[in-house]
């Protein structure tokens, strides 16, 4: 039973088709990445999933039922366009948001305090929002999306604007939630973030689905034709007949092999000329797969 299912969903604004016959499904407990460059239709797809806008055609089901607003109490949403009431105190704000999602005031307050401690902002809970830094405000929005313990968590560009420490903190929190069995959808144009977090992805470009499925399976479909070598000594092996393209950054070389290039042969040639500290046959990144799939027309 999928938690979210989009079937042939289309949405157009005037002449521009934002989403074109998009179909994918998210299974329970999955961490799902909705990927694509800016303006590819990610936010439009998410807005339709939670009823902010309606699709022109196609069907959306949430928790195996056609979309109704009642099911939104089971969803936690962090939009890309984030906002808070600036003059409100943090705690009041969280209790208000909890109330909108069906929590009683006392319970909402208890959970808000617990989450604030967990994300290390307990000392700011009685301050007005406008007094807090951008990173802290983002944590509050994160709490607002999660405090009612939703089964489905939707995060649109959740790490944008965060410093590395806070990005890691929120990333770890998402992984904990996944371990608890929550289903998580996050959309991003930063494909490197998704590789280590997501089980499955849908890659969209100009409103069209480019590819979808489990990350391992998708990557498995593409040949390992890239080599990273860290070395000291003569770089003459970079002229090898096995190599199609090579970039040398003073002892760190990134190489693309020819169609039938032999990595083992290259290793032998490199060892003969230089001291090798690292030789790795790497699989293509999602970004490379994306560029390959859209024929180099991506604007990411």
Interface with other proteins (CB under 8 A): 14, 50, 52, 69, 72, 75, 77-88, 96-97, 99-101, 141, 144-145
Cβ count near 165 (within 10 Å): 9
Nearer to other proteins, 36 or 76 (CB): 76
In angstroms, what CA-CA distances link 55 with 12, 51, 65, 81?
Answer: 8, 9, 16, 20
Provide, rounded to whole angstroms, the least separation between the CB of residue 1 and other proteins.
Answer: 23
**Rounded least distance, CB 288 to other proteins, Å:** 32
CB of residue 49 to other proteins, shortest distance in Å: 10
Q: How far apart are CA 3 and CA 26, in angstroms?
A: 6
Report the residue number, 88 or 197, with the smaller CB distance to other proteins.
88
- What residues contact 19, with CB distance under 8 A and at least 6 apart? 9, 10, 11, 41, 44, 45, 48, 55, 204, 207
Closest separation in Å from C-beta 124 to other proteins: 18
Regarding beta strands 200-205 and 16-26, do their DSSP bridges make them parallel or antiparallel, or are they unpaired?
unpaired
Structure-token pair, residue 199: 């089980």
Q: CB-wise, 159 or 290, nearer to other proteins?
A: 159
Bridge-partner residues for 209, per DSSP? 204
- Phi and psi for 62 in degrees, rounded to 5? -120, 130
Q: To the nearest whole angstrom, how small is the minimum distance from the Cβ of residue 95 to other proteins?
A: 10
With b for 16 or more beta-carbon neighbours within 10 A and e for fewer, the 73-106 pattern comes to ebbbbbbeebebeeeebbbbbbbebbeebebeee
Rounded-to-integer distance, Cα 187 and Cα 86, Å: 26
For the bound state, the minimum distance from the C-beta of residue 77 to other proteins, rounded and expressed in Å, comes to 4
- Of 43 and 124, nearer to other proteins (C-beta) is 43
C-alpha span between 84 and 263 (Å, rounded): 53
* Residue 129 vs 240, nearer CB to other proteins: 129
Closest approach of other proteins to the CB of residue 79, in Å? 4
If the CB atoms of residues 139 and 226 are measured against other proteins, the closer one turns out to be 139
> What are the tokens at 284?
């293509």
C-beta closer to other proteins: residue 88 or 281: 88
């Amino acid at each position: 039973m999928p938690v979210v299912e989009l079937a042939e969903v289309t949405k157009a604004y005037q002449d521009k088709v934002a989403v074109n016959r998009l179909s994918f499904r998210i299974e329970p407990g999955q961490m799902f990445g909705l990927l694509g460059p800016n303006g590819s239709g990610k936010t439009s797809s998410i807005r339709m999933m939670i009823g902010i806008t309606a699709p022109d055609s196609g069907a959306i089901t949430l928790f195996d039922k056609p979309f109704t607003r009642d099911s939104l109490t089971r969803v936690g949403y962090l939009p890309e366009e984030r906002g808070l009431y600036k003059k409100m105190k943090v705690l009041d704000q969280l209790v208000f948001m909890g109330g909108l999602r069906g929590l009683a005031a006392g319970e909402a307050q208890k959970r808000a305090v617990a989450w604030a401690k967990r994300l290390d902002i307990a000392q700011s809970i009685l301050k007005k929002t406008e007094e807090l830094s951008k990173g802290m405000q983002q944590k509050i929005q994160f709490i607002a999306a999660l405090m009612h313990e939703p089964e489905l968590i939707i995060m649109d560009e959740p790490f944008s604007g965060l410093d590395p420490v806070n990005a890691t903190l929120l990333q770890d929190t998402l992984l904990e939630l996944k371990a608890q069995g929550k289903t998580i959808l996050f959309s991003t144009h930063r494909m490197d973030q998704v590789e280590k977090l997501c089980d499955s992805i849908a890659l969209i470009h100009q409103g069209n689905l480019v590819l979808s499925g489990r990350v391992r399976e998708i990557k498995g479909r593409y040949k390992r034709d890239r080599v990273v070598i860290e070395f000291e000594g003569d770089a003459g092996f970079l002229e090898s007949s096995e190599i199609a393209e090579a970039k040398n950054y003073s002892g760190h070389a990134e190489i693309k092999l020819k169609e039938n290039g032999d990595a083992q042969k290259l290793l032998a040639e490199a060892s003969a000329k230089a001291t090798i500290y690292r030789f790795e046959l790497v699989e293509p990144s999602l970004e490379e797969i994306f560029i390959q799939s859209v024929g180099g027309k991506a604007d990411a």
